[in-house]
Amino acid sequence: MFSRFKSVALATTALAFVSGAAMAQEAADSATTPETEEMSDLRAFHESLLVLDSHLDTPALLVQPGFDITQRYSTDEDYSQVDLPRMKEGGLDGGFWVIYSPQGPLTTKAYQTIRDTALLRALSIHEMVAGHPDEFELALNSEDAERIHEDGKRIVYISIENSYPLGEDISMLDTFYKLGVRMVGPVHFRNNQFADSATDIAGPQWDGLSPLGEELVKRANELGMIVDASHAHDMVFDDLMELSKTPIILSHSGSKAIYDHPRNIDDERLKQLAESGGLIQVNSYGGYVRELANNPERSEALRALYAEMDSGGPKTAEAYQAMLAKRREVDEKYPPATATFEEFLEHLLHILEIAGPEHVGLGADWDGGGGVAGMEDVSDLPLITYRLLDEGYTEEDLANIWGLNLVRLLKAAEDYAASLKEAPPVEETETE
């Protein structure tokens, strides 16, 4: 079916700057050209795959007034990258929808406040599924992904980015497990009660995981959750590799060999991850793809806007639209710097070379700052398939990269948890 890839590959660079939807329309408008059948075959192959992304920050939009996941939005106008129409255009079958909570002080009062934020974010995901049962379905185990895909619905796994809302009560992880959470990352931009962050300007506090963080990993293993090392300090990665009873994930990270940023992983650790059976999902956040020009005026303008949102945020759809208008004003006055699709591919191709296609996937950080010039939203995902086929990766490789690796990792976590329940109790023996 794909013996004609090379003729299509000549246009790969140009295709990198056209959305998947636009390519489909172009193919429809050029039905007499020799490449139409080839493009149709490529598109059909992409759509046949189980396509999952391990880090969808879209729940941050689900809680905004007036946002409707079934409507098509615009990256330029609405700063949205994931909705049902564009998921269908890009062949995105779903993935891990993120419960993210901003971090505050390490105090009991702050933990209690932010816990409510995390619970509300979890409920927003459940409300999306309940409100559109013909389009979305909650996935609770590894077997659910293929079944939901075959039913033509979008797959909704849930993850926690930043365990800060758990406070110092590890049993809260059980609560979130019951809400459907199947992946957990201990830390975000700053050190917290569980672990050191890769990006805390104060430097490491714990030299890896804290004692409480070690308890978190143990309980996550017992529940059958995937443990996520993205955003964590390298020393946390090392601790997780030693302590976790199941292979870990980097749910949205890049290559330090391509761009030496603390959020990215070096080749030696990448090899260790692959050898252990772990998985890295490649990020498209521009600031981690390459060094971007600093614009202090833009940073200050956005800081003021975000402070306004954090002080309560828009309460109505009209207020939310007014907030978006202010953001567009900032972008017009101070245009954002961004990385390109080719620069993103440098990370992906290097990571594939080092780790191998059985240990790589995609976690582009959609709706959380991800996206690059030429791949602005999820409708553009077929571009990755086309390019990897052009680079010589096989149909089996693509199936693994897009979804099967992630499903296998969850299966490994489930199997370990199940083994604990099946293991016979250790009998005590009397000694003289």
Contacts of 230 (CB under 8 A, 6+ apart): 55, 161, 185, 249, 250, 251, 252, 253, 263, 283, 363
Task: Name the least confident of 124-138, 249-263, 310-324, 397-411.
Answer: 310-324
pTM for the full predicted model? 0.90
Burial of residue 418 (number of CB atoms within 10 Å: 0-12, 13-18, 19+): exposed
- What is the C-alpha separation between 40 and 286, in angstroms, rounded? 31
For helices 267-275 and 341-355, the axis angle rounded to 10 degrees is 50
Asked whether residue 18 carries a pLDDT value surpassing 80, the answer given is no
- What is the C-alpha separation between 29 and 369, in angstroms, rounded? 33
- What is the C-alpha separation between 415 and 274, in angstroms, rounded? 19
- What is the C-alpha separation between 77 and 79, in angstroms, rounded? 6
Confidence of residue 240 (pLDDT cuts 50, 70, 90): very high
Q: For residue 256, which phi and psi values (nearest 5 degrees)?
A: -70, -25
Rounded alpha-carbon distances, angstroms, from residue 97 to 54, 156, 157, 161, 251: 8, 6, 6, 10, 11
pLDDT at 422 (0 to 100) = 81
pLDDT at 428 (0 to 100) = 53
Partner residues linked to 250 by β-bridges? 280
* Identity of the amino acid at 5: F
Q: For residue 362, which phi and psi values (nearest 5 degrees)?
A: -120, 130
pLDDT at 313 (0 to 100) = 73
Over residues 162-180, mean pLDDT: 98
pLDDT at 161 (0 to 100) = 98
Residue count of the chain: 432
Partner residues linked to 265 by β-bridges? 255
Residues 238 and 206 sit within 8 Å (Cβ to Cβ):
no
pLDDT at 252 (0 to 100) = 98
Partner residues linked to 160 by β-bridges? 99, 184
Confidence of residue 311 (pLDDT cuts 50, 70, 90): low
Domain 5-292+339-419: state its class.
alpha beta
- What is the C-alpha separation between 422 and 425, in angstroms, rounded? 9
Higher pLDDT, 39 or 197: 197
Give the tokens for residue 183. 């992946």
Which residue, among 214, 69, 46, 204, has the nearest Cα to 131 in the 3D structure? 69
Distance of CA 365 to the CA centre of its chain: 5
Phi-psi region of 152 (alpha: psi -120 to 50; beta: other; left: phi over 0): left
SS3 label, residue 169: coil
Contacts of 123 (CB under 8 A, 6+ apart): none
Confidence of residue 312 (pLDDT cuts 50, 70, 90): low
Confidence of residue 90 (pLDDT cuts 50, 70, 90): very high
Asked whether residue 320 carries a pLDDT value surpassing 70, the answer given is yes
Higher pLDDT, 159 or 422: 159
Asked whether residue 10 carries a pLDDT value surpassing 90, the answer given is no
Asked whether residue 431 carries a pLDDT value surpassing 90, the answer given is no
Contacts of 37 (CB under 8 A, 6+ apart): none
Asked whether residue 148 carries a pLDDT value surpassing 70, the answer given is yes
- What is the C-alpha separation between 76 and 73, in angstroms, rounded? 9
pLDDT tens, position by position, 329-371: 999 999 999 999 999 999 999 999 999 999 999 999 999 999 9
Give residue for tokens 């979890």. Answer: 122
Task: Name the least confident of 180-184, 226-230, 306-310, 349-353.
Answer: 306-310
Asked whether residue 119 carries a pLDDT value surpassing 80, the answer given is yes
pLDDT tens, position by position, 189-223: 999 999 999 999 999 999 999 999 999 999 999 99
Q: Where are the beta strands (DSSP E) in 44-153?
A: 52-56, 94-100, 136-138
Asked whether residue 21 carries a pLDDT value surpassing 50, the answer given is no
- What is the C-alpha separation between 327 and 309, in angstroms, rounded? 11
Over residues 47-57, mean pLDDT: 98
The full set of domain ranges for the chain reads 5-292+339-419, 304-337
- What is the C-alpha separation between 261 and 38, in angstroms, rounded? 39
- H helix or E strand, kind and range, residue 107: none
Average predicted confidence (pLDDT) for the chain: 90
Share of the chain above pLDDT 70, in %: 88
- What is the C-alpha separation between 278 and 271, in angstroms, rounded? 10
Buried b (16+ CB within 10 A) or exposed e, 103-119: beeeeeeebeebbeebb
Share of the chain above pLDDT 90, in %: 81
pLDDT tens, position by position, 247-291: 999 999 999 999 999 999 999 999 999 999 999 999 999 999 999
Give the tokens for residue 258. 């391509």
Higher pLDDT, 250 or 301: 250
Confidence of residue 165 (pLDDT cuts 50, 70, 90): very high
Confidence of residue 305 (pLDDT cuts 50, 70, 90): confident
- What is the C-alpha separation between 432 and 94, in angstroms, rounded? 60
Other C-beta atoms closer than 10 Å to the C-beta of 202 total 9
Residues 236 and 187 sit within 8 Å (Cβ to Cβ):
yes
- What is the C-alpha separation between 384 and 393, in angstroms, rounded? 11
Rounded alpha-carbon distances, angstroms, from residue 215 to 187, 236, 335: 14, 14, 44
